[in-house]
Chain A
Amino acid sequence: MKEEIADFAVDYALKKGASYSEARLEETSANSFALKNGIAEASGFYRVNGIGLRIIYNKAMGFASTNDVKKEKIKALIESTISSLKKASAITEKVELSDEKFSSCRYSVKQKIKLEDVSPEEKIRLLMDADKETLSSGTNMPSRYLSLSDTTTTEYLTNSDGAKICATVPRSNFFYMLTAEHNNKTSQRVWQYGQAGGFEFVKKWGISSILAREAKAMGENLRKGIKPPKGHVDVVACPEVVGIMVHESAGHPYEADRIIGREGAQAGESFISPEMLGTRIGSNAVNVVDDPLLENSHGFYRYDNEGVKARRKYLIKNGIINEFLHNRRTAFEMGVKSNGSSRGASYDRESIVRMSNTFMLPGDYNEEELVEDIKLGVYMKNFMEWNIDDKRLNQKYVGAESYLIKNGKIAEPLLRPAIEIKTPKLYSSIDAVGKNPEYHSGVCGKGEPMQGIPVWFGGPSVRLRKIRLA
């Protein structure tokens, strides 16, 4: 990686009159493999390389990127960006960034089994073995789409405030979409696994057993599922469901750029306002954090894409709104320090406020204790359909693998129990939190053009009291 070209870009922008400049140089190599109904789809490998620049001139913000990483091209790009900013700065928003400490750092995520050392043959064989397990599960599985992919990204981030960060992060992802059929009725499940690290994690996931278990549960649900109960019932939401809940209604609304209105026409705004800091949103049992420092997590980083050192952020502490997610721009506007939440999906995307790994902290209960005093309730292990409004208040989660809870025991499978609830009610209904945290992977979408970014979401099982099912 020619880091000197990024250093040159930062210096050249300053020389041309910029008050701040930043360059992000990226080299990514990637592989992907897919299987549809037992037949190999296209296999692929590709590379991404380029440079992205952020420049502040006359307090106006410009972003420019190119995959032609040559000095002359970069000089031309900087000159045209500054020329545009010069003309537009009279009417643009005045941009200032929070003061932060910057340093130099090189880090990489270790791989016990290097992704590049695993042959395409072995990766495809893993998918084929998993497909066979799905078919031998005893459930009719007419459609199966499986994919396995990996990326290795090296980024060098430097800015005119002194940051010089070089990071290498390999990641693997496994995605599946399954269709089960019984008596002309079908059900579907989509899920994925993702981690930073080597191929040892793909082996650890146990792709074949994941799919065998999933197919069996889908078949049981189709064959034996009954309608969910009506009226107010208690719900035990398992880690996958808790994960999507906290991502959607505790992570997104705490993104400071949404609170300020900067994503108003895209990902939306937030029901949260700055004045709500320190006010109650849920029961004492609720603690939600965002933490990029989890080793080998999907959303792992040590420094964000502005060069700010990452740390754990307590979004909700004992049910109280505690902290928002900030980059340097939103931090300045709200008079605080950045907490290292600025991420861009690749060199050609402006870094904006993003989540990393967002999860509910575990409590003291084991799952049996969560269930044992429920006379009639719902145990929601996972979900398929979900959505939430753009202010992050009105949300819906429809159970996939779910069961009735009867007299403190898990009983028959349930067909599509649906929770449709507002955020304060959701977090206020939680009266007990399990000690069985899990982390699940996703690709979170935000920004325009859309930026899909790797995240984990998770938590333990929780008990929600008196929920009226939709």
Chain B
Amino acid sequence: MEKEKICSRVVEKLIKNGADDATVSLYNQETSQLKFSNSRINALKTWESSDIGVFASFKKKIVFTNIKEFSERAVDDVIKKIVKFMDFASPKEDYYGIAEGPFRYRKIQDSYDPKIVGLGDKAVDIVQSAINKADSSGAKRCAGVFSFSKSSVFLTTSNNVSANDKATKAYFSIRSFADKNASGQQAGFSRMLKYIKPENMAEESAKIAKMALKPAEGKPGNFNIVFDELPFSNFIENLGEAMSAFSVDAGMSCLKGMIGKDVAAKALTINDNGMLSNGYNSQMFDAEGVPSRNTCVIKDGKLKTYLHNTSTARKFNVKTTANAGILYPEATNLVVGKGDFSKQELFEQAKNGLYITNTWYTRFQNYQTGDFSTIPKDGIFRIENGQISRPVKDIRISENLIGMMKRVSALGKQRKRIIGWGDVERPVVAPPAMIEGVRVTRPR
């Protein structure tokens, strides 16, 4: 039986066995990755997978599972297990259902590229060119990955949804080292091969690494700091986690109780755009089939909404923002409105302070208050009289997320598409930013 037909059969059988709501999604993916270190490719990897994800509710008792064998018998086994499982489960009293279709979907620009599908062994040349560029731009060595994938999704639900989409994605990350203590990193993505520029990223990472040679110990204090797109995206991603209605409910959000209030400086407007052209997580519909949309979450510093699926929206007495995750709503592509400043003008705004090109290991003391710390890594530089000056090392930012967002005083006019290992795992489109009076600490 075709896999799509199996999905429809699962929905029918769940309803027949007493389910009130059911969604079944089929996800196929093929990914390749070239990993490199010490300026040599060290592994070629490929992954293939095909999964059916199942969600069902029975009188507010909700269950999720997957199907690994695509046969009528496997389907019957899973249905039996779900029904038995439901006998003992407890109701989720604050579950309020899934969206009612049918819906009409709009295509997303620049979301599928046959050139990525057919890339194959040509990826080796792309990586080798980037390594050569980093080495010729001053790196002693470099490390990173180039990943590319094609995927398709089919979704069917008990509420008249039947939807398809497909995607290609490319991701490149490179960290150049001018010596053990001097490095620079760039990371980015594209849905279309023509927009991703590994050589440019290699050159930029090597440039930062070279500038970072012979760093001095950093000093503690409050500084005006210019954050590059990469570290600023880390803060925006953490803000994105706090936007989910699930986080608000679970006590894991510093945005709880802040609708209509100032949560950032006027300069800051943030949208969640599931329809973003060339957006890493853009898809025509969310996990319950609601057409994706562009939602303004923070407008001129004021919080307008949380991110919702149908159930959390009904609980909060608002409309869904098309951000299902059925179990919890989640951001798609977070897009920060651009400012008016060139990078040099941001340095001039800071006048005397720091320029930070990357951060890592952001951890919260309290998600509800937003108290956290993070560690600047790669090139960290002093700004003196509006100019980049000496590199520094071994500092930490110990701050409050909302407090910091309220001190954003200037944004760059060029934005980058960022996704990266560990600290920006959801895509963010962001400019560099100047933030005033950021608290810096250091080990004693």
**Cβ B63 vs Cβ A43 within 8 A:** yes
Question: Is B408 an interface residue, CB under 8 A from the partner?
Answer: no
Distance, CA A448 to CA B146, complexed state (A): 11
* CB-nearest residue of chain A to B57: A42
Q: From the candidates A45, A91, A385, name the one contacting B371 in the complex (CB within 8 A).
A: A385
A89 vs B46: C-alpha distance when bound (angstroms): 16
- Among the stretches A163-171, A257-265, A276-284, the one at the interface with B is A257-265
Q: Is the CB of A388 within 8 A of B361?
A: yes
Chain B nearest CB from A203 CB (Å) reads 18
Partner of B367, one of A188, A390, A422: A188
Q: How far is the CB of A447 from chain B (nearest CB, A)?
A: 9
Q: Is the beta-carbon distance between B92 and A41 smaller than 8 angstroms?
A: yes
Nearest Cβ on chain A to B330's Cβ, whole angstroms? 15
Is B45 close to A, CB under 8 A? yes
B144 near A: Cβ within 8 Å? yes
Residues of A within 8 A of B365 (CB): 188, 384-385, 398, 416
Stretch at the interface among B159-167, B226-234, B289-297, B436-444: B436-444
Shortest distance from the beta carbon of B27 to any chain A beta carbon, whole Å: 11
| Shortest Cβ distance from residue A446 to the other chain B in the assembled complex, whole angstroms | 10
Taking a contact as CB atoms under 8 Å apart, the answer to whether A36 and B250 are in contact is: yes
Decide yes or no whether B426 CB sits under 8 A from chain A.
no
- Residues 394-411 of A contacting B (Cβ, < 8 Å): 394-396, 398
Type the 1/0 row for A8-32, where 1 means its CB is closer than 8 Å to any CB of B: 0000000000000000000000000
Among A41, A73, A119, contact of B88 (Cβ-Cβ < 8 Å): A119
Which stretch, B36-44, B273-281, B332-340, B409-417, touches the partner chain A?
B36-44
Select B251's contact among A119, A145, A445, beta carbons within 8 Å. Answer: A145
Residues on A with beta carbons closer than 8 Å to the beta carbon of B270: none
Q: Does A103 contact B (CB under 8 A)?
A: no
Interface size of B as a range: 35 or more
Q: Closest CB-CB distance, B61 to chain A, in whole Å? A: 8
Specify which of A60, A260, A416 is in contact with B44 (CB 8 Å cutoff). Answer: A60
Interface of B is mostly: strand
Cβ-defined contact, A40 with B250, below 8 A: no
> With contacts A88-B124, A470-B441 known, is A65 near B47, CB below 8 A?
yes
Task: Find A43's partner among B33, B37, B89, B374 (CB 8 Å cutoff).
Answer: B89
In the complex, the answer to whether A177 meets B49 with C-beta atoms within 8 Å is no
Mark the stretch among B5-13, B104-112, B169-177, B342-350 that contacts chain A.
B169-177
Selected contact of B40 from candidates A66, A91, A393, CB within 8 Å: A91
Least CB distance, B101 to chain A, in whole angstroms: 22
Please name all residues of chain A whose beta carbon is closer than 8 Å to the beta carbon of B94 when the two chains form the complex: 39
Residues 433-457 of A, flagged 1 when their CB comes within 8 A of B and 0 if not, give 0000000000001001110000000
Docked-complex contact A420 and B442, CB < 8 angstroms: yes
B89 touches A266 (CB 8 A): no
Answer whether A394 and B394 are a contact pair too, CB < 8 Å, given A39-B93, A88-B41, A261-B38. yes
Cβ proximity bits B420-442 to A, threshold 8 Å, 1 near / 0 not: 01100100000000000000011
**Distance, CA A307 to CA B143, complexed state (A):** 28
User: Which A residues are in CB contact (< 8 Å) with B44?
Assistant: 60-63, 81, 84-85, 88, 92
The residues of B that contact A49 with a CB separation of less than 8 Å are: 68
B368 within 8 A of A: yes
**Cβ of B17 under 8 Å from chain A:** no
Residue B150 is within 8 A (CB to CB) of chain A in the complex: no
Question: A52-72 CB contact bits vs B (8 Å, 1 = yes)?
Answer: 000000001111111110000
Q: How far apart are the CA atoms of A269 and B371 in the complex, in Å?
A: 28
Q: How far is the CA of A449 from the CA of B173 in the complex (A)?
A: 12
Would you call B89 and A120 a contact (CB within 8 A)?
yes
A interface bracket (residues with beta carbon within 8 Å of B): 35 or more
A104 interface hit (Cβ, 8 Å): no
- Contact between B443 and A186, CB atoms less than 8 A apart: no
Q: B90 to A40, Cβ gap below 8 A?
A: yes
Q: Mark B343-373, 1 if CB is under 8 A from A, else 0.
A: 0000000000000000011111111110111
Contacts of A225 in B (CB 8 A): none
- With A91-B40, A124-B90, A348-B49 known as contacts, the answer to whether A47 contacts B68 (CB < 8 A) is yes
Please report the C-alpha to C-alpha distance between residue A261 and residue B42 in the assembled complex, in whole angstroms: 11
In the complex, B2 has a CB within 8 A of chain A: no
Q: Which residue of A lies closest to B378 (CB)?
A: A390
Let me know if B41 and A91 touch, CB within 8 A: yes
Is A186's CB under 8 angstroms from B249's CB?
Answer: no
Q: Are A42 and B64 in contact (CB under 8 A)?
A: yes
A179 interfacial by beta-carbon distance below 8 Å: yes
Q: Does A45 contact B85, Cβ atoms closer than 8 Å?
A: yes
Chain A contacts of B68 at CB under 8 A? 47-49, 67
> B252 near A177 (CB under 8 angstroms)?
yes
Contact A186 B368 (CB under 8 A): yes
A449 to B169, CA, bound (A): 14
- B379-406: CB near A (< 8 Å → 1, else 0) gives 0000000000000001010100000000
Cβ-based interface call for B51 (8 A): yes
Q: Do the beta carbons of A389 and B394 come within 8 Å of each other?
A: yes
Interface status of B81 (Cβ within 8 A of chain A): yes
- Closest A-chain residue to B122, C-beta based? A87
B88 nearest CB neighbor, chain A only: A121
Please tell me if B145 contacts chain A, counting CB pairs below 8 Å: yes
Residues of B within 8 A of A (CB): 33, 35, 37-38, 40-51, 55, 61-66, 68, 81, 85, 88-94, 120-121, 124, 128, 141-145, 173-175, 177, 180, 185, 249-252, 327, 360-369, 371-375, 377, 394, 396, 398, 421-422, 425, 441-444
Q: What would be 28 A-B contacts, judged by CB atoms less than 8 Å apart? A: A39-B92, A39-B93, A40-B92, A41-B62, A41-B327, A60-B41, A61-B44, A63-B43, A64-B47, A84-B120, A88-B44, A88-B124, A92-B40, A93-B38, A93-B40, A143-B251, A145-B250, A186-B366, A261-B37, A261-B177, A265-B144, A265-B175, A265-B185, A350-B43, A350-B45, A385-B371, A385-B373, A394-B396
Task: Using CB atoms and an 8 Å cutoff, list the residues of chain A in contact with chain B.
Answer: 36-37, 39-50, 60-68, 73, 77, 80-81, 83-85, 87-88, 91-93, 95, 119-121, 124, 128, 142-145, 177, 179, 186-188, 260-269, 348, 350, 384-390, 393-396, 398, 416, 420-422, 425, 445, 448-450, 468, 470
Those 8 A-B pairs whose CB atoms lie nearest each other, nearest first: A143-B251, A264-B143, A121-B88, A40-B90, A385-B365, A387-B361, A179-B251, A93-B40
